[in-house]
Chain A
């Protein structure tokens, strides 16, 4: 029996068929991929499965941006600093070769041990991080490098200095910089897609999510604290706002789900990297066939169509 969820996916599939979403060229590829995902997912994620995603997305051994850089890019050169006041270690940027072409890559970076976690500020960027990201975006635009953004942030840092340095404005301008780019851009949520801190670097032509990543407007704990006045109700909150990849796909927020090894990305780094690399390659190939003038227009139209109202 078809579940509600499956019906939603099928509905989305039907709409995609009639939409000419990708200018026709690679439409069949897109359909095939969605169909595969539809086939793979037989039932809607249960509340327990959603919570499992939350836990896997935050797993201490989950691969981070630099783990993927190491496995997917050749000739990686990390760039540092926002050219204004600091180098934010919570967000890394650089250039490298991906399947033969030079790309610009940026990503949030968490730490493995206590020392690195502190150095990376638990992956929570300051405005300096977003300004460094904008520097890379401009560089990518100037030289025609495709931009890949890996998103894995609990949330932008909520501190006194972060506010004084303009956290809100930096997040807004980082999105605006992505909306202006005239090169192909792909974003993939590889762990926690936490709120404004995440969307700052996720306004891309193609937005992907790993199977067990989460994408949220607020953390389950934060939501629970406000709506249920009890952070311990996080599970309930997650079930209510559905931060998992399948629901994000269903709502049109993302364009595809990147598979992970059966027990989660942390169980097989090589396999996780291979699967991510294939999805990134597929997305970039698709975008590289789109005329540059159309990229920006379609990207904005994509985001401007998001929302549900009557």
Chain B
């Protein structure tokens, strides 16, 4: 029965698994690249423009002026409040994710500057448990808002997430109101938030802070949906439009301000930072 299937916040919105295809092979045009080639091209296919997933560190390097980024709250780690065990213990999944990604969690925060403009950055990494939001992601985002407010600078958020982290149960759902309250406090402090949604920004993250940017932009082809296409299809048997849930559809329906290709993102964000801070006279 359809009413029994709650699909709002979970991991099923993740992109199709690439199967046997190498992660550096472009799913659109099949061109294959070395890591350094893709890194130099901002992980955009030089042949067809496909946007590969971008890791948090690469993203920060692509946005922040060289040598300006100072990470904050890097020491935060998830706990296992429910002693959650599905096929494997949550703690084991966390340890594996940290080994695999070299990150303590699915979000990196810190301050830096973009084209000389100071700002706070909160950047998600999909490689860490599908960018899912648990207590640490919520706390880091919350601290990023406070740090921005204290420094009197805007916050730039870059999201890539399958939703809330089920292994933390109801506490992961509570990260939605937590991050919403943090954005409200930031806004009350008079600071702006620029939300950059990348593939995929879905479920709990879309339904909380990511949607509360003063300006919201997305990367081309990014899936931005509360419920992903496969689940909508399974649950409702509706026929899905070609571009269901993609950035392009979201732009058409008025949910985002612009689609910005990755090479244009830094100048676009820095223009916004100039606009939001010039009223302060600098």
Contacts and interface: CB of A to CB of B under 8 A. Distances in A.
A199 B79 contact: no
B208 A217 contact: no
Interface string B160-196: 0000101011111111111011111100000000000
Contact of B170 (A171, A237, A253): A253
A217 B170 contact: yes
Given A158-B236, A160-B232, A253-B170, A306 B10 contact: no
B181 A179 contact: yes
A209 to B, nearest CB: 11
A198 B174 CA distance: 11
B79 A310 contact: yes
A158 B227 contact: yes
A203 interface: yes
A303 B77 contact: no
Interface stretch (B48-56, B83-91, B259-267, B270-278): B83-91
Contact of A219 (B6, B136, B171): B6
A102 interface: no
B238 A159 contact: yes
Contacts of A180: 184
B2 A251 contact: no
A155 interface: yes
Interface in A116-160: 117, 122-124, 154-156, 158-160
Interface stretch (A15-23, A34-42, A68-76, A239-247): A239-247
A168 B206 CA distance: 5
Contacts of B168: 217, 308
A82 B178 CA distance: 26
Nearest to B240: A160
Contacts of B78: 309-310
A308 B239 CA distance: 41
A275 interface: no
A240 B84 contact: yes
Interface in A218-255: 218-219, 221-223, 226-228, 237, 240-243, 247-248, 251, 253
B227 A195 contact: no
Interface of A is mostly: helix
Nearest to A244: B170
B15 to A, nearest CB: 15
Nearest to B252: A164
B139 interface: yes
A63 interface: no
Given A159-B238, A180-B184, A168 B170 contact: no
A187 to B, nearest CB: 11
Given A217-B9, A221-B4, A307-B139, A156 B226 contact: yes
Interface string A81-120: 0000000000000000000000000000010000001000
Contacts, number: 238
Contacts of A163: 225-227, 232, 244-245
Interface residues of B, number: 74
A200 to B, nearest CB: 8
Contact of B175 (A197, A237, A307): A307
B189 to A, nearest CB: 12
Contacts of B258: none
Nearest to B204: A196
Interface hub of B85, B164, B174 (most chain A Cβ within 10 A): B174
A173 B211 contact: yes
A303 B181 contact: yes
Contact of B207 (A110, A172, A253): A172
Question: Nearest 9 CB-CB pairs, A to B?
Answer: A307-B135, A155-B6, A122-B3, A168-B206, A219-B6, A158-B227, A172-B211, A227-B86, A241-B169
Interface of B: 2-12, 76-79, 81-82, 84-87, 134-136, 138-139, 142, 164, 166, 168-178, 180-185, 202-204, 206-212, 224-227, 231-232, 235-236, 238-241, 244-245, 249, 253-255
Interface of A: 58, 110, 117, 122-124, 154-156, 158-160, 162-169, 171-173, 175-176, 179-180, 194-200, 202-203, 215-219, 221-223, 226-228, 237, 240-243, 247-248, 251, 253, 299-300, 303-304, 306-310
Given A172-B207, A194-B8, A303-B181, 11 more contacts: A117-B3, A155-B7, A156-B226, A162-B226, A167-B207, A199-B176, A217-B173, A218-B10, A226-B166, A241-B166, A253-B171
7 contacts: A117-B3, A217-B169, A218-B9, A226-B10, A300-B184, A304-B142, A309-B76
